Amino acid sequence: MKIKNIISVLEEMSPLAYAEDFDNVGLLVGDSETESTGVLVCHDALETVIDEAVSKNCNLVVCFHPILFSGIKKITGKNYVERAILKAIKNDIAIYAVHTALDNHSQGVNKIFCDALGLTNTKVLIPKQNFIQKLVTFTVPDNADKVRNALFEAGAGKIGNYDNCSFNTQGFFTFQGNEDSNPVIGEKGKLHTGEEIKIEVVFEKHLQSRILKALFANHIYEEVAYEIYNLENSHQNIGLGMIGEFANEIDEKEFLQFVKEKMIADGIRHSAFLGKKIKKVAVLGGSGSFAIKNAIQAGADAFLTADLKYHQFYEAENKLLLADIGHFESERYTKNYIVDYLRKKILNFAIILSEENTNPVKYL
């Protein structure tokens, strides 16, 4: 199996288009045409992880955090990033990162976080903006079902928990082809009118080329009339963070102790106790200080995230319990999810969970 075939599965799990603009996801090191000997899944592709990949005969390392994040002009081995890259290149090991492509997925990092805590009725905390487009096209009634179904199969027409969604309007068309035309209906040089169906469907913008390919392949017109619009609607199933709730409310101290145990956290920093029960909880794996206001607006009793600075604890504004459980800790089960996903999709192939603990933060 080639690395590119494994990448196809990874992009089904976490489409690269879901990633934030600042991020660096996808294949970072290596040739996708290389035959893979095995996959090692880790949190951070450090030098020790590359050593582990070599020892376990895995020439593809799938990591959550991208080892290459910002620009790099030299690879001399002077820091941990350059040493990992050098070792990967020397040993013909490819590195692929998922990061915010999986952060933004409805079944990704934050759903994994919620599931670890047993939260239910979950929904995205910060829905992704400017990610939905609308296609409007026109065809004769006899061709409408074929076009519509092809668009659905290509990924169009999905709204929240519903699929095969479209809006259809009946009308009539007019056209007159010039001498170079070859109309399927009517004759060139003559004005023609007839019944037509206007079909409207929405889709995620990264699917545009696939949607148009399906449209052109299943439309009968010589010249296919279509329009594409960018919508301001937020995408309720894609975005950062998640909010859910416990079946029963829980005391604040008991809640933090429960989180500490479930997320295997050595320490939790938190804002002042408010003397109220915790039932509705917002989470955002990794650095999530930017979402404090979103958690408050969503009515959360508590917000769990990481990398909070001193003054950011004030932003709880006595409206919720704000807790920093640790960056690694908030994402700790992500690599397990990736391994489970790959093993279900790729049978009889070496998919190995890294044994390296790459958490750089230690507690006394």
238 — pLDDT class (breaks 50, 70, 90): very high
- Range with lowest mean pLDDT among 26-40, 73-87, 178-192, 262-276: 178-192
pLDDT at 207 over 90: yes
User: What is the total residue count of the chain?
Assistant: 364
Question: What confidence score (pLDDT) does residue 160 get?
Answer: 85
Integer Cα distance of 122 and 282 in angstroms: 9
User: What does the pLDDT average to over 226-241?
Assistant: 95
3-state secondary structure the chain: CEHHHHHHHHHHHCCHHHCCCCCCCEEEECCCCCECCCEEEEEECCHHHHHHHHHCCCCEEEEEECCCCCCCCCCCCCCHHHHHHHHHHHCCCEEEECCHHHHCCCCCHHHHHHHHHCCEEEEEEEEECCCEEEEEEEECHHHHHHHHHHHHHCCCCCECCECCCCEEEEEEEEECCCCCCCCCCCCCCCCEEEEEEEEEEEEEHHHHHHHHHHHHHHCCCCCCCEEEEEECCCEEEEEEEEEEEEEEEECHHHHHHHHHHHCCCCCCEECCCCCCCEEEEEEEEEECHHHHHHHHHCCCCEEEEECCCHHHHHHHCCCCEEEECCHHHHCCCHHHHHHHHHHHHCCCCCEEECCCCCCCCCCC
Q: Which has the higher per-residue pLDDT, 182 or 208? A: 208
pLDDT at 175 over 90: no
Integer Cα distance of 240 and 263 in angstroms: 19
Question: What confidence score (pLDDT) does residue 319 get?
Answer: 97
Question: What confidence score (pLDDT) does residue 242 get?
Answer: 98
94-97 and 120-128 strand pairing: unpaired
pLDDT at 181 over 90: no
Question: What confidence score (pLDDT) does residue 250 get?
Answer: 97
pLDDT in tens, 208-223: 999 999 999 999 999 9
Question: What confidence score (pLDDT) does residue 73 get?
Answer: 87
pLDDT at 95 over 90: yes
pLDDT in tens, 9-66: 999 999 999 999 999 999 999 999 999 999 999 999 999 999 999 999 999 999 999 9
pLDDT at 184 over 90: no
Question: What confidence score (pLDDT) does residue 12 get?
Answer: 94
190 — pLDDT class (breaks 50, 70, 90): confident
pLDDT in tens, 278-326: 999 999 999 999 999 999 999 999 999 999 999 999 999 999 999 999 9
User: What does the pLDDT average to over 204-211?
Assistant: 95
The conformational region for residue 38 under phi > 0 = left, psi -120 to 50 = alpha, else beta, is: left
Which residues does 16 contact at the CB level (< 8 Å), separation at least 6?
25, 26, 101, 206
182 — pLDDT class (breaks 50, 70, 90): confident
Reference 102, options 7, 13, 34; nearest CA is 13
pLDDT at 350 over 90: yes
Mean pLDDT score across all residues of the chain: 96
Question: What confidence score (pLDDT) does residue 71 get?
Answer: 81
3-state secondary structure 38-55: CEEEEEECCHHHHHHHHH
Question: What confidence score (pLDDT) does residue 58 get?
Answer: 98
pLDDT in tens, 124-174: 999 999 999 999 999 999 999 999 999 999 999 999 889 999 999 999 989
